[in-house]
Chains A and B, each alone.
Chain A
Amino acid sequence: MKEPKIKSIPYSEFKDNEYLENMVAELNKDGVNVIVGKLDDLINWGRSNSLWSLTFGTSCCAIEFMALGAARYDMARFGFEVTRNSPRQADMIMVLGTITYKMAPVLKRLYDQMADPKYVIAIGGCTISGGPFKNSYHVVPGIDKIVPVDVYVPGCPPRPEAFYYGMMQLQRKIKLERFFGGVNRKEKEEDIQDESED
């Protein structure tokens, strides 16, 4: 099987390789054209090393994200340093902090405004399950109820190293995707046609 390569970390050191293997098996079950496959590799190499994230910090985790941007943890090493303030220019949305009922429609709208292919990383206990605020009347118990999530990074807030582990998981996923031919397109042809008929 094709193994995504992350600099300095061997494939076997990542803990959850199984989901990637399943993903690849599913993507490749009808076979892959050599030329298209190589083109995919090329474009994925570029995409995975220049992930631009939308700054979407709602609470504590956002401060740790700022620490990531500063000199000690320096996310520029991995190509994450360009953060965008407009969803239309972003590749991924890092949800940093609790999502409340009042914020939920805003998050959905921002997600809808992003251009495909787009990814979601849920950072911190609050975004994953509601965290310590799970029993509240105003907190969404997990953002996967609103938007599809690619990577979960647990912690309250996660350490910067955990951020990187999660972001590398996303890089690995992107490196295996098949961009050409619309295999990984989230918005399917039928949906688009349905909408235009409406």
Chain B
Amino acid sequence: MDIKDRILKLQPEATFEEQGDLIAVVAPGKFRALMEALRNEGDKMDYLREIMGLDNGTELGAVYYLESTATYEQIAVKTMTPDRENPMLPSVCDLWKTAEIKEREVYDFFGIRFLNNPDMRRIFLREDWKGYPLRKDYDMNSNPLNMENEVNADEGDEFVIDSYGSVEDLKNKIFDRNDFVVNIGPQHPSTHGVLRLRTSLEGEMVKKIDPVCGYIHRGIEKMAESMTYPQTLAMTDRLDYLSANQNRHALCMCIEKACGIEIPERAKYIRTIIDELQRIDSHLLYYSCLVMDMGGLTPFFYGFRDREMVLDILEDTTGGRLIQNYYVIGGVQADLHPEFQTKVKAFIKHLRGIIHEYHEIFTGNVIARERLIKVGMLSREDAISLGTTGGTGRASGWHNDVRKHHPYGMYDQVDFKEIVYDGCDSFDRYMVRMDEIMESMNIIEQLIDRIPEGDYKVKTKPIIKLPAGTYSASVETSRGEFMAIIVSDGGKSPVRLHFRSTGLPLVHALDTVCRGNKIADLIAIGGTLDYVIPDIDR
């Protein structure tokens, strides 16, 4: 059945926006019933990809991107409320667990309260922050630098409607008076950035983890609203810097889709190969850091030795080691370096010959196995409900590779395996990454000799304007599904630019994964989940 018919059958009053993405618009009063039906009936839309808060000047609301893990069918649902003083929407966090943290994000930026969400605290900004920065009427100077240390509340707000129809604030305890709370971070070598975890313990066991984000929140989404489209590209490299090119690929695809730009075949090949090189780079760093977090220093040098070779190849062509600014709207910035193909082939030969060292020193090591196997279990249901895409989801048996199920670039023309394990533990999360290195090399080998001659870029207009509408594009980055969503009104800068963070669901999952495990395993589990903090905070 067509998705449109299905929604109309469930909710006859729904209207549709068809500029760009297909979005069903429903009133807040009808919204909850529609979401319940989509989640539980027929082809279950059991994966909530993203919630994007929205302020169109008069109304506040949110757009929910859904996907079915069985049929990979996608739909977006939007609901808007005209109340700017006290905006409220029903929560969907009992249908999809990931909504718990994503609704907090929307509350933080737009001030929309979600009824029945148990924890309506700010997530990125300080708890004493005034105003909601992504609203259109936010005064940019209203919050000067405050050097006072932040005090975190021990209770979260849950807004419910009581029997008289008025809103009541239930105070939910996050930590009890008797809880033993250990503060990990924000300056901690093993949190992979400035993440802070308030962890309560029962003896040596983790009882609850409350992640505090925002220590590297740079307000990229707000800044993008005053930038032209080519300018916004510069921001994506600095989100998840280990997936810099892949992130940029998503935003470029999104803009190209909206403008109807067809990129040359050569650019598609180049982008796909560079994406895969980046994935190898990222996974090598993942290996290095995971092992270093667990106390092994030698593998760190192994990983970096080979990673430098990837960086050399990328540097020849793009000019940058980490932040490369290589993809542009309509293709790539410059042609490949003349020695690119030879160097890539030499590198693949080298890595294939040496990867056994990685496994000899770590994978088979008895300490590593003791600390990873059957530790940090994340079931398939939880993985889907929490939206932990990428290797973390695939280690729990969830087939979620965007390259496979919604191909872009050249992925529909290469033959590659989607690496899926079903052990659900830390060890499988590690093995997924190691196998993906091999699979990435397979993909590159299939493409490297077939790069067609021709232009690497099409000429675009000097000022790029997107037709009004909502556009989205998603790619498989090194650590999950990354999605760029643009809301345009036809002008030269976006009304709203939103990125799906790959790491936010992973950090949210920490609580579920670590509960009942030893605190010493928290670091190893965090290492296998593989999050990058600047991507979470944006």
Contacts and interface: CB of A to CB of B under 8 A. Distances in A.
Contact of A58 (B215, B219, B308, B321): B215
Interface in A41-56: 55-56
Main secondary structure, interface of A, reads loop
A100 B145 CA distance: 9
Nearest to A55: B189
B308 A138 contact: no
B189 A85 contact: yes
Q: How big is the A interface, by class?
A: 35 or more
Interface in B126-153: 126, 133, 138, 140, 143, 145-150
B316 to A, nearest CB: 14
Contacts of A104: 145, 147
B194 A58 contact: yes
B181 interface: no
A67 B140 contact: no
A138 B125 contact: yes
A137 B304 contact: no
A98 B216 contact: yes
Contact of A60 (B140, B146, B241): B241
Contacts of B124: 102
Interface in B240-288: 241-242, 285, 288
B214 to A, nearest CB: 5
Contact of A63 (B143, B242, B301): B242
B186 interface: yes
Main secondary structure, interface of B, reads loop
B217 A72 contact: no
B235 A102 contact: no
Contact of A137 (B150, B216, B222, B285): B222
A101 interface: yes
Contacts of A145: 145
B211 interface: no
A39 B234 CA distance: 51
A59 interface: yes
Contact of B219 (A85, A108, A138): A138
B296 to A, nearest CB: 14
A57 interface: yes
A79 interface: no
Contact of A70 (B187, B220, B308): B308
Interface in A138-178: 138-140, 145-146, 156-157, 159
A94 to B, nearest CB: 12
Contacts, number: 123
B218 A146 contact: no
Contacts of B242: 63
Interface in A68-109: 70-72, 85, 97-98, 100-106, 108-109
A66 interface: yes
Given A64-B321, A110-B187, A133 B216 contact: no
Given A59-B238, A71-B301, A102 B323 contact: no
Contacts of B475: none
Interface string B298-316: 0011001101100100000
Nearest to A156: B323
Given A72-B304, A132-B234, A140 B187 contact: no
B194 A67 contact: no
B336 interface: no
B516 interface: no
B160 interface: no
Contact of B241 (A59, A67, A85): A59
B172 to A, nearest CB: 23
A102 B125 contact: yes
Contacts of B216: 58-59, 97-98, 100, 103
Given A63-B322, A97-B216, A132 B238 contact: yes
Nearest to B532: A59
Given A64-B322, A136-B220, 10 more contacts: A59-B238, A59-B533, A100-B215, A102-B126, A102-B214, A106-B186, A108-B147, A133-B220, A136-B219, A139-B219
Interface of B: 124-126, 133, 138, 140, 143, 145-150, 186-189, 193-194, 214-220, 222-223, 226, 234-235, 238, 241-242, 285, 288, 300-301, 304-305, 307-308, 311, 321-323, 533-534, 537
5 contacts: A59-B193, A60-B238, A67-B304, A103-B194, A105-B146
